[in-house]
Amino acid sequence: MQILNGQEVSLQIKNELKEKVNRLIDQGKRAPHLSAILVGSDGGSQTYVHSKVKTTKEIGFTSTLIHLEENTTEAKLIDQIERFNTDPQIDGILVQLPLPKHISGENVILSINPFKDVDGFHPVSVGKMVQGLPTFLPATPHGIMLLLQHYKINTNGMDAIVIGRSNIVGRPMSILLSSNANPGNCTVTICHSHTKNLPDICRQADLIVAARGKPGFLKGDMVKEGAIVIDVGITRVNDPSSKKGYILKGDVDFGSVAPKCSFITPVPGGVGPMTIAALMMNTFRACVENSSY
Ligand code: GUN
């Protein structure tokens, strides 16, 4: 069993980006700029946005973080996005999801300039991804593909299952795993809340991507010997003995699953850091492809 070390691989990607930023600066150009918007006070979202912004600083990007109140109107949020859309100093726009219930996530995503859509959530980006055209890929599935690529894992012909059908992870993951590429070329099954007999489907899979948000649900007896297991879960679970009062738990019961795997991602230190690295790659790309300098 080998651990897929997202912490280590993401560090390598970030160091490469840092060097590329230095080269831009040496050429008299400006650093890439990411603008992030956070609405409301969800603890998880705050943590994620802050670590994205912190990473921009570490690698020499510049960034803006706008924090809007929970009761902000959709119109006000879209106004802010439109200001970012037309600002030539801003390369990438990120609106942290989920949004409060009174705001339509669809309208908000549609209002983002696709050339600045570094999350890859705009229908233009999604359409290009589905057709295999160059575009911004959603950060979590993209990060997972980069991790498989880094470890030179040959996924050709594998039976893969993706548990979860969100627009952020499950759906784009299924597209990338089934695409004509390596990693890719998998036969993909998407499982969700209406799937019958999930354990049986899991037991047949060569590759499992667990993105259900249910801590520890994937147990050793649901995994075939030699399978590759990618854990996207990061649920906060109360733990009075820890400093923060909670710990992050993946969807995978690591203790029983890991001994059966050929490769497995840990939580933390697996998919999470790769998501941030992939977002930074998208922002760098937005900068060099669109910038008006
Ligand atoms: N919420 C959970 N994952 C993501 C992500 O990758 N991007 C954004 N914007 N929101 C998220």
The domain spanning residue 233 has which CATH number? 3.40.50.720
Task: Report the catalytic residues.
Answer: 52, 96, 119
- pLDDT score, position 152: 98
Q: Count structural domains, the chain.
A: 2
* Mean pLDDT computed over every residue of the chain: 97
If one residue of 112, 119, 236 were mutated to test the ligand 1 pocket, choosing by the most ligand atoms within 8 A of its CB, it would be 119
Residue 10 in any domain: the answer is: no
* Cβ–Cβ < 8 Å for 107, 75: no
Bond from prior residue into 183 cis (ω within 30 degrees of 0):
yes
**Res. 292: pLDDT tops 80:** no
Query: 155 and 90, same structural domain?
Result: no
Q: What angle do CA 150, 151, 154 make, to 5 degrees?
A: 105
208 CA distance to ligand 1 centroid (A)? 21
Q: Are residues 209 and 260 in the same domain?
A: yes
Residue 205 and residue 239 in one domain: yes
In a domain, 100, yes or no: yes
125 lines ligand 1 (CB under 6 A): no
Within a domain: 132: no
> DSSP characters for 98-127?
SPPTTS-HHHHHHTS-GGG-TT--SHHHHH
Ligand 1 pocket residue status of 140, Cβ below 6 Å: yes
Q: Do 267 and 146 lie in a common domain?
A: yes
One domain, residues 149 and 100: no
110 and 145 inside one domain: no
Scanning the chain, the segments in alpha helix (DSSP H) are 6-26, 43-58, 74-85, 105-110, 123-130, 139-150, 170-178, 198-203, 254-257, 271-290
CATH number at residue 55: 3.40.50.10860
Same domain for 241 and 154: yes
| Ligand 1 atom at minimum distance from 97 CA | 10
Q: Given the DSSP bridges, would you call strands 235-238 and 246-249 parallel, antiparallel or unpaired?
A: antiparallel
For the beta sheet containing 187-191, the strands, ordered from the edge strand earlier in sequence to the opposite edge, are: 2-3, 261-264, 227-231, 207-210, 159-163, 187-191
146 and 262: one domain?
A: yes
Residue 72 Cβ inside 6 Å of ligand 1? The answer reads: no
Asked whether residue 110 falls in the same domain as residue 153, the answer is: no
- Distances, alpha carbon 89 to alpha carbons 8, 58, 117, 247, in Å: 31, 19, 15, 38
Q: Does 269 score more than 60 pLDDT?
A: yes
CA angle centred on 274, ends 138 and 251, rounded to 5°: 90
| Strand residue runs (E) in 153-266 | 159-163, 187-191, 207-210, 227-231, 235-238, 246-249, 261-264
- Cα distances (Å, whole numbers) of residue 255 to 146, 218, 252, 259: 25, 11, 9, 7
Same domain, 167 and 254: yes
Residue 105 lies in a domain: yes
Q: Which two tokens stand for residue 244?
A: 């923060």
The angle formed by the CA atoms of residues 94, 176 and 229, to the nearest 5 degrees, is: 95
Query: 33-59 burial string, b = 16+ CB within 10 Å, else e?
Result: bbbbbbbbebeebeebbeebbebbeeb
Q: Residue 208 falls within a domain, yes or no? A: yes
Please indicate whether residue 286, judged by its CB atom, sits closer than 6 Å to ligand 1.
no
Q: Give the global pTM.
A: 0.97
Residue 236 resides in a domain:
yes
Neighbours of 282 (CB within 10 A): 27
The pLDDT value given to residue 291: 64
Q: What is the pLDDT of residues 117-174, one digit of tens each?
A: 999 999 999 999 999 999 999 999 999 999 999 999 999 999 999 999 999 999 999 9
Any ligand 1 atom below 6 A from CB of 95:
yes
Give tens-digit pLDDT for 94-105: 999 999 999 999
Distance 275 CA to ligand 1 centre (A): 9
Q: Quote the pLDDT of residue 293.
A: 47
Q: Beta strand 33-39 with 227-231: parallel, antiparallel or unpaired?
A: unpaired
pLDDT band at 19 (very low <50, low <70, confident <90, very high): very high
The answer as to whether 238 is a domain residue is yes
pLDDT, greater one: 145 or 44 = 145
225 lies in the same domain as 263: yes
**Ligand 1 atom at shortest distance from the alpha carbon of 279:** 6
The reply to whether 65 and 169 lie within a common domain is no
- Burial class for 62, CB neighbours closer than 10 Å (0-12, 13-18, 19+): middle
Range of the domain at 155: 139-271
pLDDT band at residue 34 under the 50/70/90 scheme: very high
Q: Considering the domain boundaries, does residue 290 fall inside one?
A: no
